Structure 1
């Protein structure tokens, strides 16, 4: 009966769904289920041939000792079958007879290859995730509402600079945030995540376990189960170096902006299409626009098409040939105002070294140009004054030398003459010579006063009234010469002039027109005046003898230069009024034709 039962047991063993084997006390294989034999690739049990468990598990150390202890244990091991490695897990338990005596060992084995592979894959993924977290300096955390348990990963602990064994509470975790804004913000966001189911993502500052202040970016998201928040999970990322770098970039940008805005230049940057991508305060001030009104605009949007086209061609040249334009003088017209610039343009490169636009700078030199013009005018005036002084010196030297020689000669005659009548005649000649010398000295002093004394004060004078006053003083002279005056000057015409100089100019020009009248016709004098942006032009024309300008043109306004055979001609009046006009900043020109008449044009400078 027992033999039958034993046969039945072994028969049942072979059919067990779980891979099971029976070992004797010496570790020999007595019998095994088909599934167990299949796992190890063994044939059916041969009673005559012994198979030891130690040969099947050669890598397991101390297996004999463990079996002899007659205690339950389990182990994980590997086998290679058909060039394939399989992972197994075996459970060893003592095998008792009916009297509770250990007669062997029961072994149950599971093929856990798929589990091991999944475990390895999971570990691999975990290692990748931990590596990514370490590289990105991002950790995760999780808080369970019911248990109030807060879990930090290794990277989260590293960011907080705490040991790996550290297990924080929520209160302790919040206390890591810097007191004040950061701590209050985190507390509020965490509370809203629990009560209002709100996720969050923000930048705050923590104070690490070592007392170091660092910027972090934290996120949190509630996990809702059955209408309630079951847990909150999130991330924490160390962004301290990034924030510090951003702050430094902003500081450098602010410094650069301050420098560029403080430059006494118009600075701008254009892209490849000559659209402005950056402008400084100088450029905005010149164009009377805000930065946002200029960004994206081209010169065609801001200037006349002709000027804009020139600028665009310059931009293309700089970008195409990579040749800077340095210190080119340009003229810009904006809202009717002309501005002179020294313009420079250089190519603008991106980080890869490719040209991506133009950097332009313009220095406003309008005031410098004005000063330069004033300096040129001053040099011109100085040169003219020097020339006049040289001429004046020559005149003085020549005239005084002539008078001196005349005096010397007459005195010699007087000294050697014995005849009283002749001596009286010579003395009379000496008296005349003395009068001529005094007149010459008077004329020279008059010219000298005009050129050396401080500028006379100009006054706003009614031109027509001034002309009428002079004509009234010359009324007898004009009437005796049957002179016709045509005064076309407007009643309200005014001119800035020195009163005495104006009277002298009108008097000399009118009296000369009568003095040098044509013997064949009565004198007609026409007076006109027009006003322009540059000043007042006074024209006095006559129908007199006229002058040959080709012959005498460069001598018209010379001292003591006469061009007609008249005894009363002295050649001083035109020289005098020319000095007076130029002393007031004006000028005088002449147009004349022999036997047809002469026109003098006087240009008055209206500037004070």
Structure 2
């Protein structure tokens, strides 16, 4: 009967689904299930020749644990480290019918998959921990029901508290700087719990050591059955990042303030010559806001020819990587306004050293160019004045010497003459000589006044009305000589001129035309005007004798120069006219053909002050 029971017990043990073995007190294998034998790769027939210590040879302290006759478990593995099977064995005391311990019941299960998962989880946690430490990003979790708050180690490090520190919600909120940061975190945490609203805010934290640091606090609600059960979030130390951003912003603000207050036009263009940055001066010059200029090319802002030249310069700088420095350029805006600039263009490189555009700097030199032109004109005028002065000195010297010699000779005649009638005749000649000297001095004085008066007051004068006025003053003279005057001047046209000079210029040109009329035809004088490059040109044409310009062209405006046998000619009128015109910043020219007539063109400079 016992044999039958033993056999039944043996077969029952072999068929157990869980790997099970019976081990004697000495460690010998008494019996085992087929699954246990398979697990340890033991033959079903000869397994009792082995003992548990050889089967589990890599388990330390096994004998000691067995001798304690208590239940214990451990993990162990079979095979090499790279190709092994993980097992978990539990040893439980084996009792006989008298409650005496006769050995141990061993139950073993394959936990390889569990160990693999645990190792994977451990690996992932290690990676997450490393990333958290490197990125200084911690995590936290709040259980709404238990009101317990969990911080990871990195979160504790950011707060500068011991790793054993266990916070609560109120303590966590107290870490935020009083004022905006504390009020903000309180409000958004409340909304996350009650409204499931996620948050992600930059706030200031006061650490356990009293340091103020910028942190990025984010959180998201976890719901179950439509109710918030947990809040999970991240916590990142961004203090260095914020400090760097603040420093960059301060530097950008400083650079912007510096660039905007430079008395220079500064702009940055991309590779397509589109503006990507402009300063205040550039905006003021183009009369547009930065928003209106960004993305625009020179073709959108300037005359097409100017834009083409600018684009060619841009391409040259970008292609050759050589700057253009201090180049004089002319900008013509769409409205026709012209400005002279001293322009520099410098290649702009990105962080990789590749050209990404160019920086342009332009200085408005229009005023300087105008001053240069004025200085050049002044030098030319000074040169002309010097020549005129020398010429004038020669004239004065010659004329006064002639009058002086005439007086000396007449006085000598008078002294040696006894005849009363001859003496009377000589006295009359002296009187005439005196009058001629006075007239010469008066003429010379007029010229001196014109060339030394620097405070000429110019007014807006109507040319047509001035001609009519002069015409009235010469009415008798003109009627006597049967002169036809055609005043074709625009009745509304005005010029800047000295009133007395304009009267004198017109009077001298009219009387000059009459003096040198052709005796074979009635004199006809035509006056016209036209505007050219901010100048008004008054033309006075006649059908008189004309002048041989090849012979007398360079002398026509000289003092006391006459070219016809006219007893009324003194050669002073045209000299006076030229001096008056030039004193007002203008000029006079002449076109003439013998026996056909003469045209004098007077240029009034509208820009002269």
Q: How does 1:312-323 map to 2 (within 5 A)?
A: 312-323=311-322
Match of 1:177 in 2: 176
Q: How does 1:179-578 map to 2 (within 5 A)?
A: 179-326=178-325, 327-407=327-407, 417=416, 432-464=432-464, 466-489=466-489, 494-522=494-522, 524-530=523-529, 532=531, 534=534, 536-578=536-578
Asked if structure 1 preserves the Cα contact closer than 8 Å seen for 2:306 and 2:330, the reply is: no
Asked if structure 2 preserves the Cα contact closer than 8 Å seen for 1:222 and 1:233, the reply is: yes
Q: Distance in 1 between matches of 2:44 and 2:75?
A: 24
CA 188–466 in structure 1, closer or farther in 2 if over 3 Å, else same: closer
Q: Does the residue aligned with 1:198 lie in a helix, a strand or coil?
A: coil
- After superposition, the C-alpha distances for 1:363-420 in whole angstroms (9 at most, x for unaligned) are 22222232222222222222222221121112122223334445556667777x5866
Greater shift after overlay, 106-115 or 118-127? Answer: 106-115
TM-score, normalization by structure 2: 0.89
Q: Does the residue aligned with 2:222 lie in a helix, a strand or coil?
A: strand
Asked if structure 1 preserves the Cα contact closer than 8 Å seen for 2:544 and 2:597, the reply is: yes
Match of 1:77 in 2: 76
> What is the RMSD computed on CA atoms of the aligned residues?
3.1
Q: Does the residue aligned with 2:553 lie in a helix, a strand or coil?
A: helix
Match of 2:140 in 1: 141
Q: How does 1:85-124 map to 2 (within 5 A)?
A: 85-124=84-123
Q: Does the residue aligned with 1:128 lie in a helix, a strand or coil?
A: helix
Q: Does the residue aligned with 2:296 lie in a helix, a strand or coil?
A: coil
* Number of matched pairs: 605
Asked if structure 2 preserves the Cα contact closer than 8 Å seen for 1:32 and 1:45, the reply is: no
Q: Distance in 2 between matches of 1:13 and 1:459?
A: 134
Asked if structure 2 preserves the Cα contact closer than 8 Å seen for 1:455 and 1:583, the reply is: no
Shift of 1:551: 0.3
CA 539–37 in structure 1, closer or farther in 2 if over 3 Å, else same: closer
Shift of 1:45: 5.9
TM-score, normalization by structure 1: 0.89
CA 594–183 in structure 1, closer or farther in 2 if over 3 Å, else same: same
Asked if structure 1 preserves the Cα contact closer than 8 Å seen for 2:515 and 2:568, the reply is: no
Asked if structure 1 preserves the Cα contact closer than 8 Å seen for 2:525 and 2:543, the reply is: no
Q: Distance in 2 between matches of 1:79 and 1:464?
A: 125
Shift of 1:558: 0.8
- After superposition, the C-alpha distances for 1:242-289 in whole angstroms (9 at most, x for unaligned) are 222222232232223223322223333333333332222223223322
Match of 1:15 in 2: 15
Q: Does the residue aligned with 2:22 lie in a helix, a strand or coil?
A: strand
CA 400–239 in structure 1, closer or farther in 2 if over 3 Å, else same: same
Q: Distance in 2 between matches of 1:484 and 1:192?
A: 102
Q: Does the residue aligned with 1:70 lie in a helix, a strand or coil?
A: coil
CA 412–82 in structure 1, closer or farther in 2 if over 3 Å, else same: closer
- After superposition, the C-alpha distances for 1:512-568 in whole angstroms (9 at most, x for unaligned) are 33333334344x141414253645544333333322111001101111112123444
CA 243–476 in structure 1, closer or farther in 2 if over 3 Å, else same: closer
Q: Distance in 1 between matches of 2:472 and 2:4?
A: 172
Q: Distance in 1 between matches of 2:310 and 2:138?
A: 55
Q: Distance in 1 between matches of 2:257 and 2:115?
A: 64
Asked if structure 2 preserves the Cα contact closer than 8 Å seen for 1:537 and 1:603, the reply is: yes
CA 271–82 in structure 1, closer or farther in 2 if over 3 Å, else same: closer
Q: Does the residue aligned with 1:554 lie in a helix, a strand or coil?
A: coil
Q: Distance in 1 between matches of 2:206 and 2:396?
A: 97
CA 45–101 in structure 1, closer or farther in 2 if over 3 Å, else same: farther
Asked if structure 2 preserves the Cα contact closer than 8 Å seen for 1:203 and 1:217, the reply is: yes
Shift of 1:81: 7.8
Q: Distance in 2 between matches of 1:72 and 1:473?
A: 146
Shift of 1:142: 1.6
Asked if structure 2 preserves the Cα contact closer than 8 Å seen for 1:328 and 1:344, the reply is: no
Asked if structure 2 preserves the Cα contact closer than 8 Å seen for 1:332 and 1:341, the reply is: no
Q: Does the residue aligned with 1:555 lie in a helix, a strand or coil?
A: coil
CA 599–35 in structure 1, closer or farther in 2 if over 3 Å, else same: closer
Q: Does the residue aligned with 1:210 lie in a helix, a strand or coil?
A: coil
Q: Unmatched 5+ residue regions in structure 1?
A: none
Q: Does the residue aligned with 1:396 lie in a helix, a strand or coil?
A: helix
Q: Unmatched 5+ residue regions in structure 2?
A: none
